Amino acid sequence: MATKKTKPTNRIEDSDITGLKYLDRVLPLFKRLRSNGTERDKAGNRELFYDQYCALQLLYLFNPIVTSLRGLQQASELKKVQRKLGCPRSSLGSLSEAVRVFDPELLKEIVGELIEKLPAQPPQDRRLQDLAQTLTAVDGTLLKKLPQITQACFTTRQDKGWQLHTHFEILRGIPVRMDLTDATGKKETNEKSMLTKVLDKDRCYILDRAYEKYALFNAIVNAGSSYVCRIRGDHIFVEQESRALTKEAESAGVLQDQLGHLGSPKSIRIEHPDHPVRRITVRVTPHPKRGGRRREGATQDLVVATNLLDVPADIVALIYQHRWQIELFFRFLKHVLGCRHLLSQNPQGIQIQTYCAMIACLLISLITGRKPTLRTYEMLCFYFSGLADEDDLINHLNRLQTHETR
């Protein structure tokens, strides 16, 4: 009787794993996590501890060759990984069970400490250097669930996955806050409600149309911050002043700069902005890859609302233009760091992976010593994929430094 041939599996080898030395900056911070999850382990049988699990998470994020929980389990068998991360060989059961006993909230403190270590950097565009408030883009992205075949039979359209609400500092190029909610669109967990709960002082929030709500505008102003938010062009606007456009504003594509009040004064059912609002209309040329097919040279008029009354209109247009950086960050998060695939469907496990992704982004900023550009993201992806060596990465960073000093 002929024996059935089994398909060989691609095992992960020591030579496949890169970037371990860059974890030296964060491994000491992970040590404080060691005791979490051991409260019920009176017999001392636990083999995988929280600090080791987080180190393995970073290994997954930094190495595209590790694509699943099973791949992470294989990597934990490598002597190189065990020696560097101080973790034992871990079974699939240990990795799956870990997310149910470890507390993701403990990682917030580590994220905060890494943010404090990042040096302040001058803005690449000097026109933004005089702004008193911290430019912070806020947006959400969907982390889709990957259900098993048996679970997919019972998955409804309402079960879309998880929404990652992100606060991204523009000038430093780093995420400073991430909150995870279900993506069912419930009022208490939608974009506007989540931002209202966590407003900070002295920030300029850059928002797209998903955050267009008068009550949110009032909450931002009452918190001591400001906003630049794209709104629909068909809003009722009571104009009090039409400001003359400077040459700089015209060059930036500004068509109108109006001061007044949003909403109809006769409406009593809707909360209106309780402060003067500027409505600035800007003509832009969208990127051909955004928003479907467009004719070559086609333009689009954007309407932006803001409570920045003394900032030149061209600077307001520039501020909103920088909102696109958070979209680039989402692309990096999913395509480079591997957050397109969730290692766990458990909410705690997804939170741990999210915070570890934040830590990975902050580590990259600490490694490079500057705000990462899209080209730097690509070079790091090549490095962690084994397509570029450390010399290629260093040469890239040196070229950036030379370009900045010119």
> Could you tell me if residue 130 is inside a domain?
no
Mean pLDDT, residues 250-269: 84
Residue 180 three-state SS = strand
| pLDDT > 70 fraction of the chain, expressed in percent and rounded | 76
Helix-helix angle 347-368:92-101, to 10 degrees: 90
> Could you tell me if residue 2 is inside a domain?
no
Q: Sign of the C-alpha dihedral, residues 274, 275, 281, 285?
A: negative
In the predicted model, is pLDDT for residue 272 greater than 90?
Answer: no
Cα gap 321→353, rounded to integer Å: 30
Q: Structurally, how many domains does the chain consist of?
A: 1
Reported as a pLDDT band with limits 50, 70 and 90, residue 27 is confident
Amino acid at 247: K
- Going by C-alpha positions, the residue among 357, 373, 396, 352 that lies closest to residue 33 is 352
Give the per-residue pLDDT at 200: 95
DSSP state of 21: G
Q: What is the pLDDT of residues 57-102, one digit of tens each?
A: 888 887 777 878 888 889 889 888 888 888 888 888 888 888 888 8
Q: Sign of the C-alpha dihedral, residues 72, 74, 77, 79?
A: negative
In the predicted model, is pLDDT for residue 253 greater than 60?
Answer: yes
> Could you tell me if residue 307 is inside a domain?
yes
Cα gap 51→57, rounded to integer Å: 10
- Going by C-alpha positions, the residue among 351, 387, 325 that lies closest to residue 100 is 351
Residue 229 three-state SS = strand
| Average pLDDT of the chain to the nearest whole number | 80
> Could you tell me if residue 292 is inside a domain?
yes
User: Cβ distance 272 to 244 under 8 Å?
Assistant: no
Map tokens 């180190």 to a residue.
55
Reported as a pLDDT band with limits 50, 70 and 90, residue 149 is very low
List alpha helices for 177-213, DSSP H. 191-197
Report the first-to-last Cα separation within the chain, whole angstroms. 75
Helix-helix angle 50-62:92-101, to 10 degrees: 110
User: Cβ distance 371 to 119 under 8 Å?
Assistant: no
Reported as a pLDDT band with limits 50, 70 and 90, residue 400 is low
pTM above 0.75, yes or no: yes
> Could you tell me if residue 402 is inside a domain?
no
Give the per-residue pLDDT at 346: 83
- Going by C-alpha positions, the residue among 9, 22, 10, 82 that lies closest to residue 384 is 22
> Could you tell me if residue 367 is inside a domain?
no
Give the per-residue pLDDT at 267: 64
> Could you tell me if residue 56 is inside a domain?
no
Q: What is the pLDDT of residues 94-132, one digit of tens each?
A: 888 888 888 888 998 888 888 888 776 666 677 887 888
Reported as a pLDDT band with limits 50, 70 and 90, residue 3 is very low
Reported as a pLDDT band with limits 50, 70 and 90, residue 381 is low
- Going by C-alpha positions, the residue among 232, 391, 252, 387 that lies closest to residue 312 is 252
> Could you tell me if residue 261 is inside a domain?
yes
In the predicted model, is pLDDT for residue 218 greater than 90?
Answer: yes
User: Cβ distance 92 to 70 under 8 Å?
Assistant: yes
Map tokens 């209309």 to a residue.
281
Q: Which domain holds residue 306?
A: 230-311
User: Cβ distance 175 to 111 under 8 Å?
Assistant: no
- Token pair in block for residue 161: 């996955």
Give the per-residue pLDDT at 298: 73
Reported as a pLDDT band with limits 50, 70 and 90, residue 28 is confident
Q: Which residue has the higher pLDDT, 135 or 34?
A: 135
In the predicted model, is pLDDT for residue 154 greater than 60?
Answer: no
In the predicted model, is pLDDT for residue 53 greater than 60?
Answer: yes
DSSP string, 160-172: -EEEEEEEEETTT
